[in-house]
Copies of this chain bind each other. A is one copy, B any other.
Amino acid sequence: MTTAAGHTEAIRASRVIGTAVSNQQGEHIGTIEDVILDKTSNNIMFAVIGFGGFLGIGESYHSIPWSVLDYEKSQGGYVVPFTKEQLEAAPHDSIDALTKGDGTGARDKSYEYYNVPPYWM
């Protein structure tokens, strides 16, 4: 797994933001809108993917575990192992709601939905 710059592990957050996301069927899913960081535990909580909408109106944001994002050089973006249907049915909300309080609500829901082992246990 390498980043756009050919790195294997170290990735600049500013380069992650704005990167396209597709699924393994080659369908465009959305764009990385932000990465949510945990101040107290040194962990990346989740990525936020924007799924469209017009000028941000009606745009829906999904929290997705960082570890499921694989950078695919040939696609010029991240690939996630989910179908469009799985993603459409996934927990989503406004970014403010996703990062509300300590953000663990959206984090826990997304790890559970995508069946990703929690990093915090």
Residues of chain A having any CB pair with chain B under 8 Å: 1, 3, 5, 7-14, 16-17, 34-45, 48, 66-67, 71, 95, 99-104, 107, 119
Q: Is the CB of A103 within 8 A of B43?
A: no
Number of copies: 2
Chain B residues with CB below 8 A from A12, complex form: 34-37, 48, 95, 99
Secondary structure of the A side of the interface?
mixed
When the two chains form the complex, which single residue of B5, B14, B42, B103 contacts A44, counting CB atoms closer than 8 Å?
B42
A101-B7, A102-B9, A103-B7 known; A16 and B37 CB under 8 Å?
yes
Subset of 26 A-B contacts with CB under 8 Å: A5-B99, A7-B99, A7-B100, A7-B102, A8-B102, A9-B38, A9-B39, A9-B40, A9-B103, A10-B36, A10-B45, A10-B100, A10-B102, A11-B36, A11-B37, A12-B36, A12-B95, A13-B13, A13-B34, A13-B37, A35-B35, A39-B71, A42-B43, A42-B66, A42-B67, A44-B44
